[in-house]
Amino acid sequence: MMVSKHFFSLLVTVLALGVQCSSPVQPNTKWKNIPFPEDNPLTEAKIAFGKELFFDKRLSAGNQISCASCHQPEKAFTDGLTKSRGVDGRMAMRNAPSIFNSAYFKSYMYDGEVKTLEEQVLVPLQDHREMAGSMKEIIRKLAGDKTYQKQAHIIFNRDLDAYVITRAISSYERSLVSRNSRFDQYQSGKKDVLKANELAGWKLFSEKLYCVKCHSGIDFTNYSVVSNGLYTSYGSDQGRYRINGLEQERGTFKVPGLRNVSLTAPYMHDGSIQTLREVILHYASGGKNFPNKSTVIKPFLLTESEISQLESFFKSLTDTSSYQAD
């Protein structure tokens, strides 16, 4: 049912564009300001196709899970678990981050090493702790799906393959934009949208405390890969150290964005902090002693009402309206 509905809208789009399948025409839609790579222009048809793939369990070994099993729309595309669960209940390495606004991210994953969304798609598909598949096997399974093949031909002018799968799914991810929270409305001039305690929380976050030294910019991250002093010793996950084996990168992780953060508990790369209040207390304590801990992280004192002002500010960052259920 879902397939045929999407396919219908796909046909409409193609007709509207005059069947220009191979030329990168950007339809005049609400998606028009979203950035995309030159070789993967964003179209309504691609987004719809990518959405079907994102929710399709056949992309995993034994058809057990889809991308959406760990990136659930109602939790701002996270899963509420400390660490995600892959096929056969295997424990994933980390806590699942939200993918809202991933179109705008400068790097992906906690190591900050993956540079494009297209490239990122391949990681969970093949990670044995996550979807545990192989591209060859996935394509074999999906090859007989006539609606998928039709969409691959119309949109990409080729058979369903890794090129099609990575480009369609990343297009769907790009459509998940969170830019209309009450905080955004406030920033764009509607000054009465934020309540006094939310505004006070924003002032604490951005002026009194040091949070914006790392959680800066429109998505509240500067993409630096640092240690915020979570541990004195990082145990099995040493963060970016695993990429280059550099001592100064031990225990460092990409600064996560904070959009929709009140929907994405638990927190940190390993889901070890359950609530935003405890996150605030972590920073207030100055973090643990760790050689690579950023020198920005220092202890501070907050009153109970200041803690709740910060929590209220975080709640004002919620906007999941670009996700549309069928």
Query: Which residues are at the interface with ligand HEC (CB under 6 A)?
Result: 65, 67, 69-71, 84, 86, 92-94, 96-97, 99, 102, 108-110, 117, 120-121, 124-125, 130-131, 169, 173, 209-211, 213-215, 226, 228, 230, 253, 255-256, 258, 261, 264, 267-269, 276, 279-280, 283, 294, 296-297
Alpha-carbon dihedral of residues 12, 17, 21, 27, nearest 10 degrees? -90
Can you tell me whether residue 2 is helix, strand or coil? helix
Nearer CB in complex with ligand HEC: 202/283: 283
Nearer CB in complex with ligand HEC: 13/239: 239
Residue 275 is encoded by which pair of tokens? 């609530």
CA distance 74 to 268: 19
CB of 176 to ligand HEC, least distance (A): 10
The number of beta carbons lying within 10 Å of the beta carbon of residue 38 is 6
The Cα-based distances of 245 to 63, 229, 252, 288, 290 in angstroms read 36, 19, 12, 22, 17
Nearer CB in complex with ligand HEC: 18/245: 245
Nearer CB in complex with ligand HEC: 14/179: 179
CB of 19 to ligand HEC, least distance (A): 29
Nearer CB in complex with ligand HEC: 190/298: 298
CB of 92 to ligand HEC, least distance (A): 4
CB of 11 to ligand HEC, least distance (A): 25
CB of 18 to ligand HEC, least distance (A): 31
Nearer CB in complex with ligand HEC: 18/35: 35
- Backbone φ and ψ for 22, nearest 5 degrees, come out as -95, -10
What is the number of residues in the chain?
Answer: 326
CA distance 284 to 210: 11
CB of 15 to ligand HEC, least distance (A): 29
What would the 3-class secondary structure string for 90-145 be? Answer: CECCCCCCCCCCHHHCCCECCCCCECCHHHHHHHHHHCCCCCCCCHHHHHHHHCCC
Q: Which residues of 113-147 are buried (b: 16+ CB within 10 A; e: fewer)?
A: ebeebbebbeebbebebbbbbeeeebbeebeebee
CB of 12 to ligand HEC, least distance (A): 26
Nearer CB in complex with ligand HEC: 16/81: 81
